[in-house]
């Protein structure tokens, strides 16, 4: 890798994560691009990043698998201390609580919340030694307001918000800033099949958001201009929740 600042983005082979990785590369960062299994999509994002003149290292592992994460990250962290972490990895297993399978709860909590714990714990240690860093966790409007049929997802995203605020207090004195970006309805695979006509009635801007509109906020939080912002939740939801 070059001597440019490195930012790790989890769940970055598609959707919001891919948009974030591309946007940060365009802002001058090299990228560690984590994904679970879609090698073709990850390689396409890497090619786009290289086309922007930045370097991109692909890191294929499940963020909920601590052993796999350590195998990939430990050798890299011995050589490089990333400037930033964006935890975006996520899945949905929607359903009403009365009919929700235990594995649907466990999988969603593991990827979103335990994954955040595992990857943040690994990266925060070298950041503390370097006395600098930025962490941005991607939550959801569901984590702020709750949503019927998303008991597991709401718990995971709400947990990410609370955990980020706690971490922000822990590491502020070492010049590490921790914030949350909370998207609403964004044009990704996750909203495919939803009754958008009905849902958009509750969005004052009257449209679905774009992944790059989320990525732009993440880029700002990584910038020098955001140097006095920590412990905040910045919503990108078209007014769905104010």
Q: Please indicate whether residue 29 is annotated as part of the active site.
A: no
Q: How far is residue 20's CA from residue 43's CA, in Å, rounded to a whole number?
A: 15
Query: What is the distance in angstroms between the CA of the first residue and the CA of the last residue of the chain?
Result: 41
Residue 9: name the closest of 49, 51, 67 by CA.
49
- Grouping H, G, I as helix, E, B as strand and the rest as coil, residue 78 is coil
| Whether the Cβ atoms of residue 202 and residue 158 lie closer than 8 Å to each other | no
> Chain-centre distance of CA 35, in angstroms?
12
Q: How far is residue 115's CA from residue 88's CA, in Å, rounded to a whole number?
A: 10
| Whether the Cβ atoms of residue 88 and residue 135 lie closer than 8 Å to each other | no
β-partners of residue 34 are 59
State how far the alpha carbon of 66 is from the alpha carbons of 8, 119, 132, 194, in Å.
Answer: 16, 8, 24, 33
| Whether the Cβ atoms of residue 52 and residue 21 lie closer than 8 Å to each other | no
Q: Per DSSP, which regions of 51-162 are E strands?
A: 56-60, 84-87, 133-138
Angle between helix 66-77 and 115-130 (nearest 10): 20
Out of 29, 83, 153, 228, pick the active-site residue: 153
- Give the residue numbers marked as catalytic: 153
């Amino acid at each position: 890798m070059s001597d440019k600042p490195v930012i790790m983005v989890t769940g970055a082979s598609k959707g919001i994560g891919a948009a974030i990785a591309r946007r940060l590369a365009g802002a001058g960062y090299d990228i560690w691009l984590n994904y679970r299994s879609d090698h073709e999509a990850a390689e396409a994002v890497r090619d786009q990043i290289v086309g922007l003149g930045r370097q991109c290292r692909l890191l294929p592992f499940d963020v909920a698998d601590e052993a796999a994460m350590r195998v990939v990250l430990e050798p890299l962290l011995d050589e490089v201390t990333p400037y930033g972490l964006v935890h975006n990895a996520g899945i949905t297993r929607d359903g009403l609580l009365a009919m929700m399978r235990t594995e649907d709860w466990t999988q969603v909590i593991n990827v979103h919340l335990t994954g955040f714990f595992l990857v943040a714990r690994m990266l925060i240690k070298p950041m503390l030694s370097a006395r600098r860093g930025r962490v941005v966790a991607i939550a959801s409007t569901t984590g702020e307001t709750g949503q019927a049929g998303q008991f597991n997802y709401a718990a995971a995203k709400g947990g990410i918000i609370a955990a980020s605020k706690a971490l922000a207090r822990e590491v502020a004195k070492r010049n590490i800033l921790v914030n949350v970006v909370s998207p609403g309805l964004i044009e990704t695979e996750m909203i495919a099949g939803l009754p958008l006509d009905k849902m958009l009635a509750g969005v004052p801007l009257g449209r679905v958001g774009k992944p790059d509109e989320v990525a732009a906020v993440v880029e700002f939080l990584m910038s020098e201009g955001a140097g006095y912002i920590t412990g905040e939740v910045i919503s990108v939801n078209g007014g769905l929740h104010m």
